[in-house]
Structure 1
Amino acid sequence: MKISNAYINNFSTISCAGNSNEELFSSICQKKNKISLDTNYVKDSVVAIGKIDSKTLFDDLVFQVCDNILEESNLKDFSNTLLVIGSSVGGMIKTEQIFFQDKTYENINYKEHPIDAVAYKLKQKYTFYDDISFSTACTSSANALGYAKEVIEKGIYKNVLVIGLDSLSYTTVCGFHALSVLSSKPCTPFERNREGMNVSEAIAALLVQNEKSSNESIEICGVGYSSDAHHMTQPQPEGLGANKAMSLAIENANIKKEDISYINAHGTGTYANDFSELNAISSLFSDCMPYVSSTKSITGHTLGAAGALEAAICCMAINKQIIPPSKDIKDLENEIIKISNEVINKDIKYVLSNSFAFGGNNVSLVFGCAK
């Protein structure tokens, strides 16, 4: 039984595309190149990565986005708020730093390594009612948002703080390099001649509540989950799992697929992921194609943070009535798809955001204007 709706009332983001919400959306709309070339992470290789432009420590940036939420919300503190973390690396960066410095694992604090290390750190500064952490690779914070929607709607919590975050780590960058999916230049999702993906870092915090707080509140209308379990690292080529997740999200939102104005695609820039997603979108929306773009062409792939970061982008797209563009697509692989290469001003009511991960774990979210 649905007791209440779930509304995103405030959000705060930091990424390579900007240290604020407005800077992030402006970078996307202006198609600014925020990806840098790096030779430090992979030996004898140049890889393009998305690094946050700040001298502040990553942990302190996490505190900063939480402080921003408190300052702009109707909360005095987080004592009656559930903390939901979505991350694929957790405290791995801290572990790497200690190991590279000491050449041993002996000085590593075991509480600062796992996925819930983020929650552990936050609880040193803030008081939360409870916390839970999700680690499902690139769908981590999308799953966290879906969970927030469910517990809000069931009346279990009134306030949920969802934080999606991942910092750049050698383990992650070198891991993707081993899979031969990294690009040596800014990624170009859905471009026929794309080279690969850009690993990036980001933090995105969203306050989800059972009542809307302003005219800019955005409702989490629907969530769809699927698992195609086709391959450990590659999606089902025809996009069957992605199609299922999108269909379920639209059904859960109690709308029609024709109501979707814009799809924020997973769009990583790798051949396997893009090919699968393009097939899924073209088959599901063959008779009512909405505009599609991948904002990862500006932000890079922020891994566990992607679902939350792109949820914030979707919120701004709805509030500004702007469809954000993709960047540098000259030869679209699938001509059925309606790619937005430039900023498009449009009446937007509902948007769909896709997050797909290793193991065929798929999450789609529908966002809409708060009623």
Structure 2
Amino acid sequence: MSVYITNYEVECNAGDLTSLMKALYNKESKITIDTNYINGNEPVGLGKMKDGNFFEILINKVSNVLKDSNLNDFKDTLLIVGSSVGGMRESETIYFRDGNYKNIDPSKHAISVISETLDQKFSFADTRAISTACTSSANALLLAKRLIEVDAYKNILVVGADALCHTTVCGFHALGVLSDSPCRPFDKSRNGMNVAEAIAVLLLSSEKSDESIEFLGAGASSDAHHITHPDPEGKGAIAAMSAALKDAGIEPSEVDYINAHGTGTTANDSVEALAISQMFNNCYVSSSKAITGHTLGAAGALEAAIACETIHQGIIPPQTGLIEQENSSLNIPTAPIDSKPCYVLSNSFAFGGNNTSLLFGRAK
């Protein structure tokens, strides 16, 4: 059974989807420098959304998808949420306000608080919450695809959502991988990543609409090389990309564009570039994280929406921040490419060697 993405909405540091795609095509980084997260006022580049209540923005985005879809309600729709932060920011707010943990509600700290909040508002048939670090919402999409293919559900709403919080920023700082400027994926002089926040909402269906993008393939792997570093030979990344292509019945030569995981860290970019160069000859490659930062558990869903919109608009986004390319075998555009891509692959890689690749195409 075919699976289609029929509707989607996002919110991130660059704004909504229209503003985000404009920033991608115009190479306008939306990373800001902040000194409020690391002890000693150390500057770090972050991707912060506009001011507002995170859950109010989330509910608004889901409402828009419901309004713009052909569904009267979500009573027969499964909700799958992918997140790595869940309610952590609310817990932090209480802790910093009170100076202790006593008033923190554990039930509002968990990953499932996002799905529970949305279910209370919209009454879904059932809900699931997935947390696999930076592949969380990519794996939510993979699961949704599998469930629709076996006719378990006709419609599934996938939400990727992570709020910016001190715990994650300080955690990545402890690993020594944060940049004090907008990240520069695949650049020889890149110096780290930018932690960011985002919300992405995608409605998947077994029925095609006029504007549908077909969700053709999904592949996952676990190279289990190291808790934070990828396998230096790229075996896990290759396995995930290969599985997505096999699932779709697509050859590597048919892929027009890869939205790379491309975090701007030394380890990730070199390994991902190696893996891509071993599988693909001349398809375009760029990372949207130079604009959005790394939105953690929301990244897979956010970048799936970017992949779908790239197909809709027929223009491949250039790489922002690239000064001197490290791996010359990659075909990284530095200006928008008007090529009307048919097949777009989106990569998400996470701690523990958890790798997920998703393939999207024009609905036939």
Tell me, yes or no, whether TM beats 0.5: yes
Residue of structure 1 aligned with 2:22, choices 26, 42, 63: 26
For residue 33 of structure 1, report the CA deviation from its aligned partner. Answer: 2.2
1:266-285 matches, within 5 Å, as 266-285=261-280
CA displacement at 1:217 relative to structure 2: 0.6
Hey, what's the Cα distance between the residues in 2 that align with 1:306 and 1:333?
24
Residue 307 of structure 1 pairs with residue 304 of structure 2? no
Superposed CA offset, 1:128-179 (max 9, x none): 1001111000000000000010001110001100000100010000000000
Q: Does 1:139 align with 2:135?
A: yes
Amino acid at match of 1:360: G
2:287 aligned residue: 294
Amino acid of the structure 2 residue aligned with 1:267: G
Deviation (angstroms), 1:109: 1.8
* Structure 1 residues 193-272: aligned runs within 5 Å: 193-214=189-210, 216-272=211-267
> Is this contact kept in 2: 1:222–1:366, CA < 8 A?
yes
SS of alignment partner, residue 94 of structure 2: helix
Partner of 1:153: 149
CA distance in 2, matches of 1:183, 1:272: 14
2:101 paired residue number:
105
CA RMSD of aligned residues (A): 0.8
1:9 aligns with 2:15: no
Q: What secondary structure is seen at the aligned counterpart in 1 of 2:127?
A: strand
Deviation at 1:243, TM superposition (A): 0.7
Q: 1:122 Cα deviation (Å)?
A: 1.2
Shift of 1:119: 0.9
Task: Tell me, in whole angstroms, the C-alpha distance in 1 between the residues paired with 2:357 and 2:5.
Answer: 16
Opposite residue 46 of structure 1, the aligned amino acid is P
Paired residues of 1:112 and 1:120 also in contact (CA < 8 A): no
Give the whole-Å Cα distance in 2 for the aligned partners of 1:187 and 1:329.
9
User: In structure 2, which of residues 323, 337, 360 is the aligned counterpart of residue 367 of structure 1?
Assistant: 360
What SS class does the counterpart of residue 134 from structure 2 fall into? helix
> Structure 2: how far apart are the matches of 1:265 and 1:110?
35
Q: 1:46 aligns to what?
A: 43
Q: Which residue of 2 aligns with 1:333?
A: 326
Q: How many Å separate the matches in 2 of 1:313 and 1:14?
A: 12
Partner of 2:85: 89
Q: Which amino acid aligns with 1:319?
A: H
SS of 1:41's partner is: strand
CA contact (8 A) 1:163 1:203 kept: yes
Q: Secondary structure at the match of 2:138?
A: helix
Report if the CA contact (8 A) 2:3-2:149 is conserved: yes
**C-alpha distance in structure 2 between counterparts of 1:144 and 1:167, whole Å:** 18
- TM value normalised by structure 1: 0.97
Q: Bigger shift: 120-129 or 329-338?
A: 120-129
- What is the CA-CA distance between 1:124 and the residue it aligns to? 2.2
Over residues 54-78 of structure 1, what are the superposed CA-to-partner deviations in whole Å (9 max), with x where a residue is unaligned?
x320010000100110111001111
Shift of 1:245: 0.5
Cα deviation code 1:224-262 (max 9, x no counterpart): 111000000000111110011101100110111111000
Distance 1:114 1:25 in 2: 32
3-state SS of 2:348 partner: strand
Give the C-alpha shift of residue 103 in structure 1: 2.0
Question: 1:126 offset after TM fit, Å?
Answer: 1.3
Q: CA deviation at 1:107?
A: 1.5
Superposed CA deviations along residues 2-52 of structure 1, whole A, max 9, x for unmatched, are xx211000000000011x211111111111121100000001210000000
Q: Is the 8 A contact 2:29 2:320 kept in 1?
A: no
Distance across 2 between alignment mates of 1:33 and 1:159: 35
**Structure 2, unaligned stretches of length 5 or more?**
none
**Segments ≥4 residues shifted beyond 3 Å:** none
Instruction: Find the aligned partners of 2:48 and 2:269 in 1 and give their Cα distance.
Output: 23
Shift of 1:343: 0.3
Query: Is 2:57 the counterpart of 1:57?
Result: no
Contact kept, 8 Å, 2:315 with 2:339, in 1: the verdict is yes
Contact 2:188 2:325 in 1 (8 A): yes
Which consecutive unaligned segments of at least 5 residues does structure 1 have? none
Q: Give the distance between the partners of 1:347 and 1:28, measured in 2 at CA.
A: 16
Tell me if 1:356 matches 2:349: yes
State the Cα distance separating 1:326 from its structure 2 match: 0.9
How far does the alpha carbon of each residue in 1:279-300 deviate from its partner, in whole angstroms, 9 at most, with x for none?
1001111xx3200000101010
Q: Which amino acid aligns with 1:202?
A: A
Whole-Å Cα distance in 1 between the matches of residues 117 and 109 of structure 2?
11
Q: Count the aligned residue pairs.
A: 363
Amino acid at match of 1:250: L
Cα distance in 2 for residues equivalent to 1:12 and 1:33: 20
Instruction: State how far apart, in whole Å, the 2-side matches of 1:256 and 1:366 are.
Output: 12
Q: State how far apart, in whole Å, the 2-side matches of 1:104 and 1:38 are.
A: 25
Give the Cα separation in 2 of the matches to 1:153 and 1:165.
Answer: 25
Q: Shift in Å at residue 79 of structure 1?
A: 0.9
Give me the whole-angstrom Cα distance separating, in 2, the residues matched to 1:321 and 1:126: 34
**Contact 1:187/1:198 (8 A) holds in 2:** yes
Is the CA contact (8 Å cut-off) linking 1:148 and 1:208 kept in structure 2? Answer: yes
Instruction: Give the aligned partner of residue 66 of structure 2.
Output: 70
What's the offset of the Cα at 1:212?
1.1
Question: C-alpha separation between the residues in 1 aligned to 2:47 and 2:220?
Answer: 28
For the residue of structure 2 that corresponds to 1:211, the secondary structure is coil
